[in-house]
């Protein structure tokens, strides 16, 4: 079955460290997205990419970076510049044929 794999499921980071969240999809989807979820605020878009080697900032891109070197992969780096990184991060992908978003299981990042 095709799907989206996010790893790890739980991640702990010390303050001042960068950390990279993995997102891989085998759905042959062109577009991929990163969302952040905080309690009571729904999901907010961090970055998105519609094709390989191209990506755009979402609503809350500050303190994050991404790359899209392969169609299947869209890793998210949470840098030390992100002031409140503790959150639940969800990766999604969609086909260029229509607004269909498939989500991964998420990574819960905690800064200790």
Partner 1 sequence: AQKVTQAQTEISVVEKEDVTLDCVYETRDTTYYLFWYKQPPSGELVFLIRRNSFDEQNEISGRYSWNFQKSTSSFNFTITASQVVDSAVYFCALSGGYGNKLVFGAGTILRVKS
Binding site for partner 1 (CB under 8 A): 31, 33, 35, 40-45, 48, 50, 56, 58, 88, 90, 92, 94, 98-106, 108
**Number of neighbouring beta carbons within 10 Å of residue 59:** 11
Is the separation of the CB atoms in 21 and 11 below 8 Å? Answer: yes
CB of 90 to partner 1, least distance (A): 7
CB of 43 to partner 1, least distance (A): 4
Burial code (b: 16+ CB inside 10 Å, e: under 16) for 9-29 equals eebebeeeeebebebbbebeb
DSSP state of 83: S
Task: Between 80 and 88, name the residue whose CB sits nearer to partner 1.
Answer: 88
Task: Between 13 and 44, name the residue whose CB sits nearer to partner 1.
Answer: 44
CB of 26 to partner 1, least distance (A): 16
């Amino acid at each position: 079955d095709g799907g989206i794999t996010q790893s790890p499921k739980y991640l702990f980071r010390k303050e001042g460290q960068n950390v990279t969240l993995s997102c891989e999809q085998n759905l042959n989807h062109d577009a991929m997205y990163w969302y952040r979820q905080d309690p009571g605020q729904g999901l907010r878009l961090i970055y998105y990419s519609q094709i390989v080697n191209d990506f755009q900032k979402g609503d809350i891109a500050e303190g994050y970076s991404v790359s899209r070197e392969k169609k299947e992969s869209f890793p998210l780096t949470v840098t030390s510049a992100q002031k409140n990184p503790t959150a639940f991060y969800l990766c999604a992908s969609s086909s260029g044929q229509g607004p269909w978003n498939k989500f991964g299981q998420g990574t819960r990042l905690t800064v200790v």
